[in-house]
Chains A and B, each alone.
Chain A
């Protein structure tokens, strides 16, 4: 880390930050609705977003600051293993193509705001819906906390806050300001704020990546040199484990882990409440489908970003620094390589990249609490106005919680919980996706499967040791029966599904009460029949292929 504050970079960063703050507050007036007090307005942007806005919103939501920092950091640390994020985000889209349009339709028809709303309506089970809601909230919290870690990394490298400055208040003040502002405009503008800011965020990110991927290899002597140097670095044996640091391609033993991580993560991504919130804000069924064909542009960006990990390694970032924090590798690479003003743009991209998902995540968690805990259990006769009020309040609470988490606990705690969160959220898959296609599963069987998956996943992850930590040292462990190392979340998911199937047979044989299904088969293919939707669905097949 260079000494002192990088003044120019900081100034550029602050200018962008102020600009998005203004946008965030202005967003409340963007596409203003008649009934601003309804939860659909604050929490789902009035369910009115077309393909473009949804694309930016989903992109802004899924590809977070933490992703930008962590994926290249993983590549920087271990090479090929960190690149699993690319096949993961490739597989997500064909996967969601099959079930998200159904979720959108049934939610549109019945006014569902969260996945738990759907599960309750489909299976007539408040306990199953509660399980899904709690899992969602638990999995989202550490995710929000990690967005803060992303901002912290940027601030650290700019020489503001963090680091070694003694006074805790001075140290954390920039982060507190950033989050205070975020909390304020999320509170006032709801989902419209991140939707509007997402445009800025993604434009910045794309510019930074395009420049980085051309300019840095040029400065470092081309990809040949970069990979040659990186290969040498990975080959060095780590004295703590007696194994090489990493590899440029996964060896025989690491391929299962690579594939299962990609698959498990792809299954989990759209179980996260914030992804679903962005999906439900779309105005028609085809907005969702069309987005699955253009969202992979972000996967390409992610792949290019991951390459920055090699560049950081080849350029000698962190070399010879004991205990170098890998999370800082990319911001540090930017600072070393770019002129100050452009480093400022890059940092702004990461910083704003943290604000957008943090806002959506807190809204999603707040919606879950309001709809599936507050309304279902505490105040069944809550009016939409009351729901909105509670949701707004909870969104603040969730953010404060994440802030306290990051400021008081070690960063590894947040990362551990994030890892667990991925395993947990995957356990809601059978109830949600199973429910979208069939009513065959029994609600109690799904609940039991969820419990088994949660318990197995948590317990197994707890037992994974790494050189650095005794527990939660990684997300992969030996898969029973197969004997290969694989992603714990996927194993837990298979166990979960097996329990759900077996118990459904048993419960059906026993004629256990099935609960009321308030949905009808036609609801799953329903589309918005509003007049303004015609233009939206009426795209001719001859339109250019969006990505290539």
Chain B
């Protein structure tokens, strides 16, 4: 963990890892709630209009982002536990 410990010897509440994880979790909201960005029919993919395949593509993207956040957070949680012990 590259985070510098807080003044009391513990990791602070807001760490770079948490910020990155937060951004990973936030990106899907921007992508999905900005409906205007994908509300169109072309380009098609094997005959499926853009609107549909793009959203299904986001299932994979958001899953990968959530997984990234999971790995980051778990690593840091272990570091926190290690400190308490």
Contacts and interface: CB of A to CB of B under 8 A. Distances in A.
Contacts of A303: 52, 55-56, 59
A97 B25 contact: yes
Contacts of A262: 32-33
B37 to A, nearest CB: 10
Contacts, number: 128
A248 B51 contact: yes
B41 A248 contact: yes
Nearest to A223: B47
A262 B35 CA distance: 10
A90 B55 CA distance: 9
Interface string B67-85: 1011101110100000000
A61 B34 CA distance: 29
A345 to B, nearest CB: 24
A94 B56 contact: no
A109 to B, nearest CB: 16
B25 A541 contact: no
Interface string A76-107: 00001001001100110111011000000000
Contact of B35 (A94, A255, A286): A255
Nearest to B27: A94
A294 to B, nearest CB: 8
B49 interface: yes
Nearest to B55: A86
A546 B32 CA distance: 22
A344 B41 CA distance: 35
Nearest to B72: A541
A93 B75 contact: no
A79 to B, nearest CB: 10
A206 B36 CA distance: 32
Interface residues of A, number: 48
B46 interface: yes
A286 B75 CA distance: 12
A250 interface: yes
A541 B71 contact: yes
A98 B62 CA distance: 14
A177 interface: no
B19 interface: no
A409 to B, nearest CB: 35
B47 A90 contact: no
A90 B40 contact: no
Interface in A253-305: 255-256, 258-259, 262-263, 286, 289-290, 292-294, 296-297, 299-300, 303-304
B49 A94 contact: no
B56 A255 contact: no
A524 to B, nearest CB: 12
Contacts of B67: 293, 545-547
A350 B60 CA distance: 25
Given A98-B25, A224-B44, A256-B35, 17 more contacts: A86-B55, A90-B58, A90-B62, A91-B62, A94-B62, A97-B25, A223-B48, A249-B40, A249-B49, A250-B51, A255-B39, A292-B70, A296-B66, A303-B59, A541-B71, A547-B67, A548-B64
15 contacts: A90-B55, A94-B62, A97-B25, A97-B70, A223-B48, A225-B47, A248-B51, A249-B41, A255-B35, A255-B36, A296-B60, A296-B66, A300-B56, A303-B56, A304-B56
Interface of A: 80, 83, 86-87, 90-91, 93-95, 97-98, 222-227, 248-252, 255-256, 258-259, 262-263, 286, 289-290, 292-294, 296-297, 299-300, 303-304, 307, 525, 537, 541, 545-548
Interface of B: 24-26, 28-29, 32-36, 39-41, 44, 46-52, 55-56, 58-60, 62-67, 69-71, 73-75, 77
6 cross-chain pairs, A with B, having the tightest CB-CB distances, nearest first: A223-B47, A224-B47, A94-B25, A255-B35, A87-B32, A296-B63
